[in-house]
Amino acid sequence: MSAGGSPLSCSSDVCRGETVNSWRSGAGTWQIQAALGSLYETAGEQAQEHTAFGEAARIIQELAQGITDETLRSRFLAGPQVHPVLQHAQRLATSLPDDHTEPSGL
């Protein structure tokens, strides 16, 4: 990663190699987290599902921040594998507090 913090603005061969490795590991990691989230969802493990999808979304956002071209970043985030994970994580983030509230007794 360059001193400026943007992994895609590095010009040395070593840094480019590190960026590619970072992308490969990040890409694999978010997909593993999303798959775990799906398994937890099937098993009814809401807290673990929330954690796994949240981590997948966090990794995706980190990868997207490294894409300096706005068009490419938008395409990445709207991609057929990425977008559903982000949507699922967002749904969980907005619904989880309601799922864990005590009944109001009405």
Question: What pLDDT, in 10s, does the model give residues 42-99?
Answer: 999 999 999 999 999 999 999 999 999 999 999 999 999 999 999 999 999 998 554 4
Q: Which domains does the chain have, with CATH numbers?
A: 13-97 (1.20.58)
* Range list of H helices, 44-106: 46-65, 70-77, 82-99
In this prediction the pTM is 0.68
Question: pLDDT, tens digit, for every residue of 2-39?
Answer: 444 444 444 444 444 444 555 555 678 999 999 999 99
Quick one: which H or E segment has residue 29? helix 13-43
